[in-house]
């Protein structure tokens, strides 16, 4: 397998006042293989979200390099980066950021219709297939305000998948959901990953991380350790063991 994303010695500094700066990411190195399912854990303020936004080009690194699909992206201009994100990357957030005056299906189709030559019928069919895959096809024409948190996050996942991205980045996508909805979202993400899409999540929830293949631990702007649990599939009945082994590891690592 080849790497889909390689970050080398990345640093992120933000100005603090006139003569000061905050050094958030400190010489971080990271390789993500195509098809991996990764999560990032670590204390609040350790830099997890900053890492996700900087490697996905939503934000700019201060120094270092980020290669995506074999080419350096950190020096590209905003327009090129926006195109790349739209075509190759999907994003899901804790706050789902759906447009309130649009229906479920129109929200989903939005990123696919940005391109001038998009075929609206084909996009509509694809959107309906994704809604079916995530079990919310009946909501297609409802107003977005009518869904529950779990249903809306499914819409968020469908929207992230509409352009067939190579990688999905999730910043606490289950952070606002109850445990049942969290399990359902994780099962959808596992299917998405099973179909070949790389997935990287930031999470505080060890139950979420236990369903991912590799867990990175971040502390004070550094990636300090990683734990490989291997692929999880719903057929496995070892989730308790995975959770226990992850918890033990987190305690050993002082988190
Ligand atoms: N643009 C910014 N300006 C100033 N400080 C920032 C900026 N972005 C992030 N920070 C600070 O950098 C640190 C890391 O933030 P980040 O959100 O990446 O942490 P995190 O590990 O994701 O935290 P949490 O788990 O609480 O979401 C925090 O102290 C945050 O306040």
Question: In the chain, what are the domains?
Answer: 3-252 (3.40.50.300)
CB distance 122 to ligand 1 below 6 Å: no
Q: State the average pLDDT for the chain.
A: 93
Is the per-residue pLDDT at 110 higher than 90? no
CB distance 20 to ligand 1 below 6 Å: no
What is the predicted pLDDT for the residue at 118? 81
- What is the average per-residue pLDDT within 41-62? 97
Structure letter (DSSP) for residue 172: S
**Ligand 1 atom with least separation from CA of 16:** 4
If residue 185 lies in a helix (H) or strand (E), which one and from where to where?
helix 179-194
CB distance 47 to ligand 1 below 6 Å: yes
Q: Write out pLDDT tens, residues 121-164.
A: 999 999 999 999 899 999 999 998 888 889 999 999 999 999 99
What backbone phi and psi angles, to 5 degrees, belong to 55?
-80, -20
CA of 47 to the centre of ligand 1 (A): 6
Pocket test for ligand 1, best of 16, 47, 200 (most atoms within 8 A of CB): 47
What is the model's pTM?
0.94
Strands 198-202 and 167-171: parallel
What is the predicted pLDDT for the residue at 97? 84
Strands 214-219 and 222-228: antiparallel
What is the predicted pLDDT for the residue at 234? 65
**Cβ-count burial of 15 within 10 angstroms (0-12 exposed, 13-18 middle, 19+ buried)?**
exposed
* Full 3-state SS string of 192-230: HHHCCCEEEEECCCHHHHCCCCEEEEEECCEEEEEEECC
CA of 17 to the centre of ligand 1 (A): 16
Q: Write out pLDDT tens, residues 56-94.
A: 999 999 999 999 999 999 999 999 999 999 999 999 998
CA of 153 to the centre of ligand 1 (A): 23
Closest residue by CA, ligand 1 atom 12:
24
**Ligand 1 atom with least separation from CA of 204:** 25
CA of 217 to the centre of ligand 1 (A): 16
Closest residue by CA, ligand 1 atom 7:
14
- What is the average per-residue pLDDT within 194-205? 96
Q: Does the predicted interface ipTM exceed a cut of 0.95?
A: yes
């Amino acid at each position: 397998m080849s790497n889909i994303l390689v970050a080398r010695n990345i640093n992120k500094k933000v100005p603090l006042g006139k003569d000061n700066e905050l050094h958030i990411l400190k010489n971080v190195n990271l390789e993500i293989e195509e098809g991996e399912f990764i999560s990032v854990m670590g204390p609040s303020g350790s830099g997890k979200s900053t890492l996700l936004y900087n490697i996905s080009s939503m934000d700019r690194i201060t120094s270092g390099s980020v290669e995506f699909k074999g080419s350096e992206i950190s020096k590209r201009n905003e327009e090129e980066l926006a195109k790349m994100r739209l075509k190759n990357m999907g994003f899901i957030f804790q706050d789902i950021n759906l447009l309130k005056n649009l229906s479920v299906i129109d929200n989903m189709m939005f990123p696919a219709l940005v391109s001038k030559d998009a075929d609206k019928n084909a996009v509509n069919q694809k959107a309906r297939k994704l809604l079916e895959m995530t079990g919310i096809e009946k909501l297609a024409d409802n107003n977005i305000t009518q869904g529950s948190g779990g249903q809306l996050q499914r819409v968020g996942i469908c929207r992230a998948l509409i352009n067939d991205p190579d990688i999905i980045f999730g910043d606490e996508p289950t952070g606002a959901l109850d445990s049942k909805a969290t399990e359902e979202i994780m099962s959808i993400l596992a299917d998405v990953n099973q179909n070949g899409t790389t997935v990287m999540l930031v999470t505080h929830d060890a139950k979420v991380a236990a369903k991912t293949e590799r867990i990175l631990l971040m502390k004070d702007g550094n990636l300090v350790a990683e734990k490989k649990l291997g692929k999880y599939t719903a057929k496995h009945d070892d989730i308790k063991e995975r959770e226990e082994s992850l918890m033990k590891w987190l305690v050993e690592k002082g988190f």
